[in-house]
Structure 1
C-alpha cells in the first residue's frame, strides 16, 4: 500500500480527505500553481481543487503557451479576472456589487506560489497581462501560522479562494474550505516538538 493518499497526495497519516466537503461554485476558479508548490506538503491549493466542483489547477511557471489556459481565455462566454493586487486592481467587493459580471459567467484566476514566485509567473505569462486584475479587501488577515508570510494580511491560496468566492457568491457557505485548512494546520502543529511552534512562528523568529 502506498504511503500517500491517492486523492489528496499527502501522507496517509496527514490525509485531509476526511474533512473535505464537496461544494458547488458558480464562479469557476483556475489555479496557476508554480512548479515549486506542486509537491509541497503544506500547500493549500489542493483543498480548493478537492472541494470545489468548478476548479482547475495548472502547473508551471510561464503559462503564455499553455494550451488549456489559452483555450479557457479564448472562450468569450466567460469573463476572466486575475487575483493580483496592483494600483489599478478593482476590489472584489466592488466587483460583486457591479453590473460587470451580470451578462457573462466568470472565471477567476489565482496564482499559487510565494510572492516572489507569483510575481515571476505574472511577468512571464504574457497572456495574463490583458486581463483585468482584482484584489481582496486589504483588512483581511491570513492564518497560515505554520508558513512564513511577508505581512499579516498575506493569505494562503485557500484563504484567498474562500474570501473571493464568499464575496462573489454571498448566498453560499464556503466555510468548509477553512475548516480543512485549520485541520491541516492543527495536525502539522501537533507533529512539532514541544516549543518549536511557539519559538519559530508565534514570535516570528
Structure 2
C-alpha cells in the first residue's frame, strides 16, 4: 500500500480528504502549479481542486505548448482572467456576476519568484485581463514564512476571489480545510518549534 493518499496526494497520516467539502461555483478555476509545489506537504492548491468540481489543476512551468490549457483558452463564450496584480489589473470585487459568458480564473501556484517566472514564460496569458485582491487582506499560512503580512496561500487567494465574485455563496469550507491541514502539521512539530520559528 502506498504511503500517500491517491486522492489528495499527501501522506496517508496527513490526508486532508475528510476535511474536503464539495462546493458549487459559477466561476471556474484553472490552477497552474509549479512542479516544485506538487509534492509539498503543506501545499494548498489541492484543497481547491478537490473541493471545486469545475476546477482544474495543471502542473508545469512553461505551458506555451500545453494542449489542455490552450484548448481551454480557445473556447468561445468564455471570459478568462488571471489573478495576478499589475499596474492595470482590475479589482476582483469589481467583476460582478452574472456575466453573459462563462468565467474562468487562472491562478499561478508557486512562490512569488516562481509565479513571476511562470508569468514571463506563458505569454499566451498576457492578453487576458488581470485581477488583484485587496491589499489589506492578511494570510493565515502560519507554518510558512511569508514575505509580508498580506501574502496569501493559493487556497486563500481562491477563496477570496470566489467570495468576492459570488458573495451570495459560502466558500468558508475551503479555509476550514486549510486550517485543519495547518493544525495537523503544527501538532507534528516538536514542542516549542512552532513558537520559536513561526510566532512573532
Runs (5+) with no aligned partner, structure 1 = none
| Structure-2 separation of matches of 1:195 and 1:89 | 42
Provide the secondary structure at the position in 1 that maps to 2:57: strand
Could you state the TM-score of these two structures normalised by the residue count of structure 1?
0.95
Structure 2 gap segments, 5+ residues each: none
Identify the residue that residue 126 of structure 1 maps to in structure 2: 123
Deviates more, 1:17-26 or 1:116-125: 17-26
Q: Secondary structure at the match of 1:202?
A: coil
Task: After the TM superposition, list the runs of 4 or more consecutive aligned residues in structure 1 that deviate by more than 3 angstroms.
Answer: none
Count of residues in Structure 1 that have an aligned counterpart in Structure 2? 200
C-alpha distance in 1 between matches for 2:166 and 2:30 = 16
Matched, 1:142 2:139: yes
| Distance in 1 between residues matched to 2:127 and 2:199, nearest whole Å | 40
1:162-186 Cα offsets, whole Å, 9 max, x none, are 0011011111110000000000000
Shift of 1:96: 2.3
Residue 81 of structure 2 aligns with which residue? 81
Residue number in structure 2 paired with 1:174 = 171
> Normalising by the residue count of structure 2, what TM-score does the alignment of the two structures yield?
0.97
Q: CA RMSD in A?
A: 1.0
For 1:5-24, what aligned pairs fall within 5 Å after superposition? 5-24=5-24
1:57 — aligned with what? 57
* Local SS of the residue matching 1:31: strand
Q: How far did 1:47 drift?
A: 0.2
1:54-110 CA distance string (max 9 Å, x none): 10011111111111111011112100000000111101011227xxx6221100000
